[in-house]
């Protein structure tokens, strides 16, 4: 862990913590600008996974033996670590899932199945990732509830002036993203939650793009549910969590049934455990939960305010340099934003640009970014997206600009 | 510039992408196929006018897409204009074999279309090259009228 205690992180030395970054791709040094899709993993996370499987691996919560005790303890310790990281009132408010998508589906089924009725409205925004849209479409189809959408302005911000007319007493749930994965917009979560509460609506925050990048405290935000993925914040794939306010989780029936989530079972019926275990059927993903806890430790050593500041520095620099390229259109807000820059260039289609960039060692994403309705709203088939994390540098951004300039010449 | 990039974006391909041939709409259309690649949002509208002896008398396309899909549509329409249904189907099969790497000796009849061989090394771009061809495949199977086709097969909404 390369950091000067009590002072600013040594960003260049932090790169050494990430073995994957020390490689050439297609003959050029790798520039990894696809962090909104998934982040890279520091050695401490890889070591934690290896340590667990080499020393403590067993099934949690059931074996009366030493390894099972260790696995159980490490898994529940990881839950406490997540609770602490999110500022949750207790570890019982944290359910481990495969990630943001599964967390949202859990709410749509267990909470939505019980509480959402045909007369209800589910309020979403136009900037939602498909993972915070499709589960609600399916719930609406099951229940007859209506979907309603808060529009996005041309500058990439939500149309807050329309909120009062949309966030009415019919709204049962208001689900929205913290940071847009295409536009980089940071939504005012605390304010949105406060206004939802005022009309009696339950809130769900998609924190996939924020949990590893800026301070996220569920009590300060005042949300009822919050979902995130470990793999976008230095953790392994296949692990994430759902925060749910204790009294709401208590009121929810199980989603998946199976082992681990029951108190007693007869052939006819079962009694279920209290949250969070009620919502974790089957053998949990113990190893990756431990990996996620290691990722949180790593991020907290650097500090989320420092990461946010570094993100902001990189993003502002990238926006300034990209804006100077000919035929460039940048999407999203010009002020404060997440470490995501979506753009289109007159010279080339996003797929041609990303193929071209990849051949120069630069990993970006081209396409609709699981945001098809948002792309339609901006009249675009897709964009090219560069997304940063704390191990990226302004030198890499300079290199990106050179590559894009070469690409523009190549395709026109 | 890497060799793979030069093989993918051959000069002839880039030329067709910048100045696509047969781009626009036909005055008289027998079959109109709307094709899309949902993975990237690319769209093609392919119009075919069949001649008296079952030839593809005229063929034009419109829509938007990447350099590969645009050049592929442009070169396809150039190649297929005036061909019989049978010849067009043979060329379609040969082209499909070429870009997926499952091609055999048939690639000789492809002429300039053989330049798309570089796509093989970019599996994610095969659909870009195939979009126009999926549309023409549908047009050949179609009685007069309109149809839609997608690069994502087996779409269903149970």
For every residue of A28-86, DSSP letters joined together read: EE-EE-BTTT-----HHHHHHHHHIIIII---TTT--SHHHHHHHHHHHHHHHHHHHHH
A276 touching chain B per CB within 8 A = no
Q: Which domain holds residue B106?
A: 3-148
In terms of Cα–Cα distance, which of B105, B101, B130, B132 is closest to B117? B101
Does residue B158 lie in a domain region?
A: no
Structural domain includes residue B154: no
State residue A5's pLDDT score. 43
| Domain assignment present for A57 | yes
Q: Is the pLDDT of residue A114 over 90?
A: yes
* Structural domain ending residue among the three candidates A266, A300, A334: A300
Helical segments of A99-187, H only = 100-106, 112-115, 134-143, 163-166
Q: Which two structure tokens, joined as six digits, stand for A12?
A: 């260049």
| Count of domains forming chain B | 1
Q: How long is chain A?
A: 412
Q: Where are the beta strands (DSSP E) in A152-224?
A: 171-177, 202-206
Residues 6+ apart with CB under 8 A from A69: A63
Contacts by residues B58-62 (CB-CB < 8 Å, ≥ 24 positions apart): B58/B26, B59/B22, B59/B26, B59/B136, B60/B22, B60/B23, B60/B24, B60/B25, B60/B26, B61/B20, B61/B22, B61/B23, B61/B132, B61/B135, B62/B23, B62/B24, B62/B25
User: How do beta strands A146-150 and A121-125 pair?
Assistant: parallel
Last residue of a domain, which of A240, A268, A300? A300
Domain check: are A321 and A380 in the same one?
Answer: yes
My answer on whether A262 and A361 are in the same domain is: no
A381 in B contact zone (CB under 8 Å):
yes
Rounded to the nearest angstrom, the gap between the alpha carbon of residue A390 and the centroid of all alpha carbons in its chain is: 16
Assigned token pair, A265: 């079972």
> Cα separation of A245 and A253, whole Å?
15
- Cα(A1)–Cα(A298) distance, integer angstroms: 8
Per CB-CB distance under 8 Å, the chain A contacts of B18 are: 411-412
| Residues A317 and A239 reside in one and the same domain | no
Mean of per-residue pLDDT scores for chain A:
95
Q: Which of A243, A275, A300 is the last residue of a domain?
A: A300
CB contact under 8 A, B4 and A359: yes
Let me know: does A385 contact A365? Beta carbons within 8 Å.
yes
Distance of CA A159 to the CA centre of its chain: 22
The helix (run of H) or strand (run of E) holding residue A344 is strand A340-345
- A148 and A285 housed in the same domain: yes
pLDDT per position as a tens digit, B28-52: 999 999 999 887 778 999 999 999 8
Q: Are residues A33 and A160 in the same domain?
A: no
List CB contacts (< 8 A) between A142 and chain B: none
What does the pLDDT average to over A356-383? 91
In a domain, B61, yes or no: yes
Q: Which of A193, A223, A234, A370 is catalytic?
A: A370
Distances (CA, A) of A237 to A231, A295, B127: 5, 12, 28
Inter-residue contact A356 to A371 (CB < 8 Å): no
State whether B64 and A368 contact (CB < 8 Å).
no
User: CA distances (Å), B144 to each of A224, B31, B141, in order?
Assistant: 56, 5, 10
pLDDT, tens digit (0-9, with 9 covering 90-100), for A255-284: 999 988 999 999 999 999 999 999 999 999
Q: Residues A235, A329: one domain?
A: no
CATH number at residue B87: 3.90.1010.10
Instruction: Give, for A148, the enclosing helix (H) or strand (E).
Output: strand A146-150
pTM (two decimals): 0.93
Task: For residues A28 and A69, state if they share a domain.
Answer: no
Structure tokens at A297: 């430790």
**Predicted pLDDT at B53:** 84
Distance CA A220, CA B137 (A): 57
Q: Which of B42, B122, B125 is the closest to A381 by Cβ?
A: B42
Residue B112 forms part of a structural domain: yes
A6 in a domain, yes or no?
Answer: no
Q: Which residues of A, range 4-33, sit inside 8 Å of B by Cβ?
A: 26-27
Domain contains B155: no
- Tell whether A296 and A307 lie within a shared domain: no
Residue B92 lies in a domain: yes
**A375 in reach of chain B (CB within 8 A):** yes
> What pLDDT band is residue A8 in, cutting at 50, 70 and 90?
low
Which band of pLDDT confidence, cut at 50, 70 and 90, is reported for residue B102?
confident
Residue A217 belongs to domain with CATH number: 3.40.640.10
On the question of pLDDT at A199 being above 60, the answer is: yes
Residue A286 lies in a domain: yes
pLDDT in tens, A34-45: 999 999 999 999
* Residues A218 and A363 placed together within one structural domain of the fold: no
Q: How many CA atoms lie within 13 A of A104 on its CB side?
A: 28
CB-nearest partner of B40 from A356, A359, A367: A367
Instruction: Pick the range with the lowest mean pLDDT from A88-97, A263-272, B24-33, B100-109.
Output: B100-109
Q: How many domains does chain A have?
A: 2
Q: Let me know whether A311 and A283 are in one domain.
A: no
The answer to whether residue A333 sits within a structural domain is: yes
**Average pLDDT of the residues in A63-80:** 94
- Domain assignment present for residue A3? The answer is no
Q: Please, what is the average pLDDT of chain B?
A: 89
Angle at A35 between CA A6 and CA A174, to 5 degrees: 95
pLDDT computed for residue B106 by the predictor = 62
Taking CA–CA distances from B125, the nearest residue in chain A reads A351
Q: Please give the pLDDT value at position A399.
A: 98
CB A406 within 8 A of CB A347: no
**pLDDT tens across B59-72, in order?**
999 999 999 999 99
* In-domain check, residue A5: no
The answer to whether A337 and A176 have CB atoms below 8 angstroms apart is no
Domain co-membership, A138 together with A86: yes
Does A66 lie in the same domain as A25?
Answer: no
Structural domain harbouring A406: 11-41+303-411
Is the bond preceding B23 in cis, omega lying within 30 degrees of 0?
Answer: no
Look at residue A354 and tell me if it is in a domain. yes
Is residue A17 assigned to a domain? yes
Contact A213, A220 (CB under 8 A): no
Looking only at the bridges linking them, the beta strands covering A202-206 and A28-29 are unpaired
């Amino acid at each position: 862990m390369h950091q000067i205690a009590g002072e600013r992180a040594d960003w260049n030395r932090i790169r050494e913590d990430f073995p994957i970054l020390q490689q050439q791709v297609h003959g050029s040094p790798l520039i990894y600008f696809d962090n909104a899709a998934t982040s890279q993993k520091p050695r401490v996370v890889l070591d934690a996974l290896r340590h667990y499987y080499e020393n403590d691996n067993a099934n949690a919560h059931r074996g009366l033996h030493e390894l099972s005790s260790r696995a159980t303890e490490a898994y529940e310790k990881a839950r406490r670590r997540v609770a602490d990281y999110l500022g949750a009132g207790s570890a019982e408010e944290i359910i481990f899932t495969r990630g943001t998508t599964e967390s949202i589906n859990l709410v749509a089924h267990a909470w939505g199945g019980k509480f959402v009725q045909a007369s209800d409205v589910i309020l979403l925004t136009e900037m939602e990732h498909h993972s915070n849209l499709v589960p609600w479409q399916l719930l609406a189809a099951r229940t007859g509830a209506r979907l309603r959408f808060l529009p996005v302005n041309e500058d990439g911000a939500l149309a807050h002036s329309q909120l009062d007319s949309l966030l009415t007493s019919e709204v049962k749930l208001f689900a929205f993203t913290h940071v847009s994965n295409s536009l980089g917009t940071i939504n005012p979560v605390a304010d949105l939650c406060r206004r939802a509460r005022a009309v009696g609506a339950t809130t769900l925050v998609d924190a996939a793009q924020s949990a590893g990048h800026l301070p996220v405290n569920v009590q300060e935000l005042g949300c009822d549910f919050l979902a995130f993925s470990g793999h976008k914040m230095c953790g392994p794939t296949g692990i994430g969590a759902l925060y749910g306010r204790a009294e709401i989780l208590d009121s929810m029936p199980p989603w998946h049934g199976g082992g681990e989530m029951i108190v007693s079972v007869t052939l006819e019926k079962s009694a279920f455990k209290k949250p969070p275990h009620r919502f974790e059927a089957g053998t949990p993903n113990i190893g990756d939960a431990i990996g996620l806890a290691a990722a949180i430790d790593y991020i907290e050593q650097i500090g989320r305010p420092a990461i946010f500041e570094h993100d902001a520095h990189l993003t502002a620099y990238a926006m300034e340099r990209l804006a100077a390229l000919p035929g460039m259109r940048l999407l999203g807000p010009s002020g404060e934003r997440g470490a995501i820059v979506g753009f289109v260039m007159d010279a080339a289609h996003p797929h041609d640009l990303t193929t071209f960039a990849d051949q120069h060692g630069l990993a970006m994403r081209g396409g609709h970014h699981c945001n098809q309705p948002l792309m339609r709203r901006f009249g675009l088939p897709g964009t090219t997206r560069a997304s940063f994390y704390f191990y990226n540098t302004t030198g890499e951004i300079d290199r990106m600009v050179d590559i894009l300039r070469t690409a523009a010449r190549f395709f026109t | 510039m890497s060799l793979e990039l030069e093989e993918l974006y051959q000069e002839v391909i880039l030329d067709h992408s910048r100045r696509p041939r047969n781009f626009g709409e036909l005055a008289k259309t027998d079959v109109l196929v709307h094709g899309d690649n949902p993975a990237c949002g690319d769209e093609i509208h392919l119009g075919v006018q069949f001649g008296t002896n079952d030839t593809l008398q005229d063929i034009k396309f419109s829509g938007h897409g990447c350099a590969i899909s645009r050049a592929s549509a442009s070169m396809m329409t150039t190649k297929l204009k005036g061909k019989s249904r049978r010849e067009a189907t043979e060329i379609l099969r040969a082209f499909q074999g070429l870009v997926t790497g499952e091609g055999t000796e048939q690639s000789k009849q492809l002429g300039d279309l053989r330049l798309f061989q570089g796509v093989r090394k970019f599996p994610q771009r095969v659909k870009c090259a195939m979009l126009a061809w999926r549309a023409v495949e549908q047009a050949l199977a179609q009685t007069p009228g309109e149809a839609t086709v997608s690069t994502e097969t087996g779409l269903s909404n149970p």
